[in-house]
Structure formats: structure tokens, C-alpha cells
Amino acid sequence: MVKRMIAPSLLSADFGNLKSEIEMLNASQADWIHLDIMDGVFVPNISYGFPIIETIKKYAEKPLDVHLMIVEPQKFIQEFKNAGAYMLTVHYETCTHLHRTIQQIKSEGMKAGVTLNPHTPISLLEDIICDVDMVMLMSVNPGFGGQQFIENTYKKVLRLKELILRKKSEALIEVDGGINYETGKKLFDCGADVLVAGSFVFNSDNPSEVISRLKYS
């Protein structure tokens, strides 16, 4: 059963009015608040760290969906728990010992997810799919908002859905990047559960309405 959840990405929010942006999300149909954490090493950009996340947590009434685009994420699991993360997602490409990292996240009481870059095949998840709570597929190259959607993502969602069903996994499918009404509807139709939308939500005249339409259109 597709859940149709929306996780707006705060990276595209107005940081000069962060409290009011979060309050808007609290009052909206959004399910989670998505946080993109970048280190300038794994991806060519730097976002924000623990003090900002703790501030977001203070005002957020929705669970924090934290996407780590950083090398050696296993070093910071405890800190992200303390900062208020609900779902902590690490990149397959950064984890030499992925199973151990997933177990570490779960041992701290968080949900654990794994993210795949656009070029990383679904088949690599064969032996971990039953251990994760969510798989996030990047539908753009990670590092910057506002990029064009990569069309191959639809096929990846279908392949991932097939793997989840075959292995009897309960993992959710999240897709991040290039989300709009057209791509969002197609992704939900393919079996995605959660859509991450940043610039499409926050650059609109009525972000709340956009969230609602993404979820129910």
C-alpha cells in the first residue's frame, strides 16, 4: 500500500525566516521535515550542522528526516540522535560497513535508511533490504537543489519495489530531487512512498497548497 508522504526539504527555505517556515510546515499536510546535511567532501556543497538542526527541532512538530551526504557518517550517529533525528539516512557510497552503520543507527532508537546515487544500481541492496526502514533514491545528483529530474528514476523505483516485495521487506521508498506535480504523480504510481520536494515547494506562492497537491493529486 503506497503511503503518499511528503517531506519538504528545508534546504530551499528562507533561512532568514526559518522559524516561520517551520511553523508553515507544521500547519501543512507535510509528513516529515527533510534535512540535507552536506560536508563539502562527499558532495560539492556545505549545508548546516548541529546547532541549526537543534534549532529546527525546537520548533518542528513533524519528524525530522535527516539525509547525510557526508563521508564517515558512522562517527556522528549519536550526535544526530541528540539533535533530534527521527530517520537517519546514509549513502551506500560512503559506507564501507553498511550493515554495521545501519545497526548503529537503530541501536540509538532512530529509523535507518540508505540512499543510492543516480548511478548506483538497486541490485546492491539485495543483502541489506530487510535491515533498513527506508531506501532513498536520488533523482538528481546530490549537492544542490533545483536540478532537473533524471528519467531513469522511474525504472529504479519499479525495480526497488520488486526487490522489497520479493524479499518481504517493509522498507519505504523515498525519492529526492526534481519533484513537481508531474514527476511526483508518476513516482507514486510506480510505488514510491515518500517524496522530498525543496525548491518546488518553497519557491511557490503558496507552499502549503503545493504540499497538499503533491500529496493528493
**Of the listed 31, 36, 39, 133, which one is catalytic?**
36
CA distance linking residue 170 with residue 192, whole number of Å: 13
CA distance linking residue 159 with residue 147, whole number of Å: 23
176: annotated active-site residue: yes
4, 65, 101, 211 from 30: Cα distances, Å: 10, 12, 28, 6
Q: Is residue 86 within 8 Å of 32, Cβ to Cβ?
A: yes
Q: Is residue 46 within 8 Å of 39, Cβ to Cβ?
A: yes
**Of the listed 39, 65, 133, 176, which one is catalytic?**
176
Catalytic residues: 36, 176
